Amino acid sequence: MADDPFDLEPELEAGVPAVAAPGEVDEAEWLQRMRHSAAHVLAQVVLEMFPEGKIAIGPPIDTGFYYDFDLPRPLTPEDLSQIQKRMRKEMGRNHRFVWEEISVDEARDRFADQPFKQELIDQFSLDSDRLGICTHAAFTDLCRGGHVESTRQIGPFRLTSVAGAYWRGDERRPQLQRVYGALFATKEELDAHFQRIEEAQRRDHRRLGRELDLFAFDELVGAGVPLLLPDGAIVRQEMERLIRELQEARGYREVWTGHLARGELFRRSGHLENYSDVMYPAMREHDEHRNGSEDDEDGEAYFLKPMNCPLHMTLYNHSLHSYRELPLRYAEYTTLYRYEKSGQLSGLTRVRSLTQDDCHIFITPDQITDEVARVLELVQTLFTTYGMPNFRYELSLPGEGGKYVDDPQAWSIAVTALRDALDKAGIDYVEQQGEAAFYGPKADLFVSDVMGREWQLSTIQLDLIQPARLGCVYVADNGERRTPVVIHRAIHGSFERFMGILIEHYAGAFPLWLAPTQARCIPIADRHQEWADEVARELREAGLRVDVDDGNERMQAKIRNGQRRKIPYLLVIGDREVEARSAAVRVRNGEDLGAMPLDQIREMLTQLKASRANEPA
């Protein structure tokens, strides 16, 4: 798939045929060619159904293909079914794909009634006076090649959905209808793909968040601003408790810096120059609500902070530090504010107000390797605790076209130092150009959840630029004042995004230490209520989160309710349990542990909580 989907397909390598027979290319390339060819058949069929329609782009993607259309009316599920049937019929007719090059003028004539193709022709003609087209049946598309020989060679597929997509991703351009299809080499792989989709839907944190009363969004508050309900707040508190414990044991010191600061701070740090497109102004110049007096700093703009680094560096500057004090590790759990386009917002995983376990570590240059290793060890410990031990790293470097502070020497030193630190720590990584922060390179962590999906979470950034711009210094062993290196580091990424990932990773069935309600007492009848209340009270005194279901439903209904709420342990209490001062213990997965004395239950649950074990769901 092309890095730029508006560039259609990438240029084929020299000697690779535009149309290939089986065996002429490897399996991965053959799959991409099937997907590419299927996109052409999709466009053919849609234009036959809607002759007045306009076609845009149709690249292969990781799971299949899509094509964007401007059509006279919205497509319906019935349309999608009809399109799929007609595509299969066309594929069975064994149309051959014929690729050729034509002049730019001829291309303009061929696509005279297709405005999106005309725009692409304008783009491609800057590099070449000849353009590729591919024809099958009576359909021709602008194309750089990369097809199977005929439509009968296209693998098993299924159309999946229709979504809105702005032309070139620009909200100011026409909104098109994007038809998605899934395509794999075999039917078994296609079926497995849809099984994964069904499981992902079952685990969707947005649905589970509603069902389990974890979080909410409200139009009056605003899009992208999540609100945590009490149970969601408990999960968040436990996440914070874990990272606090880990950091305190490793010498981090907690600070607090509020929510806004003067624009001048962000100008000096470089954020206004390189990051202003995602920053929220908190006070505009000459705000009509201000009285213009001298002591309110008339005309000064304030911003909600998008990052903590300039404020942590300001705290660092509060006193003069010796090299003997370094590393100095500042930690903060604070909400940041960053503008995201409305179309990019997605539950907790893409928000406008986000809370980070944000840390900035001030070090000397010769401490880089050891300190990066310490951060990597912290990452390993945290994600192993969550039962997510599979991860990989990318070294994100500056690239063409990005916004970066112009300081080649600082960049060279930082890139070399971070690369060396990862190498000495024995970390395998791949390098990615163009993904660095504007002030320095970074190591990005990609974690795999229980379904094998990858998430970009932690980031470790090396910065030699902002500390100098903000005047940070330390006194070296020879008495000279030098600029410290700063490691920017967020382990969870953001608590909101990571909570959404955790909900899906556990399918809402949090391990006991994270669960909002860790156990529920279920009295079978009213006469068992007193002992149920006593059990809950004693377990709460032991530090456990326990409630009592004192409703009027029957026992089995109460058990089902507890399982739906994904409460780890259900403690059923009847006559025998009252007499024996015990409870019948059921695990939410249906396992029956039988009757246990209260002391044994308390010991089992408190040990599970303390160990942060990932017990059965």
Given CA atoms 393, 395, 396, 399 in this order, what sign does their dihedral have? negative
Tokens, residue 433:
């150009």
Tokens, residue 416:
């070399």
Q: d(Cα 183, Cα 331) in Å, to the nearest integer?
A: 47
Per 3-state DSSP, what percentage of the chain is helix, strand, and coil (rounded to 5)?
Answer: 40, 25, 35
Given CA atoms 363, 368, 374, 380 in this order, what sign does their dihedral have? positive
Q: d(Cα 435, Cα 3) in Å, to the nearest integer?
A: 14
Q: d(Cα 484, Cα 364) in Å, to the nearest integer?
A: 5
Q: Which residues contact 287 (CB under 8 A, 6 or more apart)?
A: none
Residue (of 312, 267, 259) closest to 469 by Cα position: 267
Secondary structure of residue 602 in the 3-state scheme: helix
**Residue bearing tokens 């399918």:** 507
| Residue numbers annotated as active site | 309, 338, 356, 358, 360, 442, 488
CB 200 within 8 A of CB 192: no
Tokens, residue 395:
């070294």
Give buried/exposed letters for 176-214 (b at 16+ CB in 10 A, else e).
bbbbbbbbbeeeeebeebeeeeeeeeebbbbebbeebeb
Q: d(Cα 482, Cα 484) in Å, to the nearest integer?
A: 6
Residue (of 415, 503, 499, 424) closest to 461 by Cα position: 415
CB 577 within 8 A of CB 593: no
**Residue bearing tokens 């290319």:** 25
Secondary structure of residue 322 in the 3-state scheme: strand
CB 24 within 8 A of CB 17: yes
Q: d(Cα 482, Cα 366) in Å, to the nearest integer?
A: 13
How many residues does the structure list for the chain? Answer: 617
Q: From edge to edge, which strands make up the β-sheet containing 569-573?
A: 546-548, 519-523, 569-573, 582-587, 592-597
Q: d(Cα 16, Cα 30) in Å, to the nearest integer?
A: 12
Task: State which H helix or E strand residue 607 sits in.
Answer: helix 598-611
**Amino acid at site 88:** R
- Of the chain, the end-to-end C-alpha distance in Å amounts to 38
Phi, psi of 173, deg, nearest 5: -100, 170
Q: d(Cα 65, Cα 43) in Å, to the nearest integer?
A: 11
**Amino acid at site 225:** V
CB 308 within 8 A of CB 269: no
Q: Which residues pair with 175 in a beta bridge?
A: 166
Tokens, residue 267:
């100008």
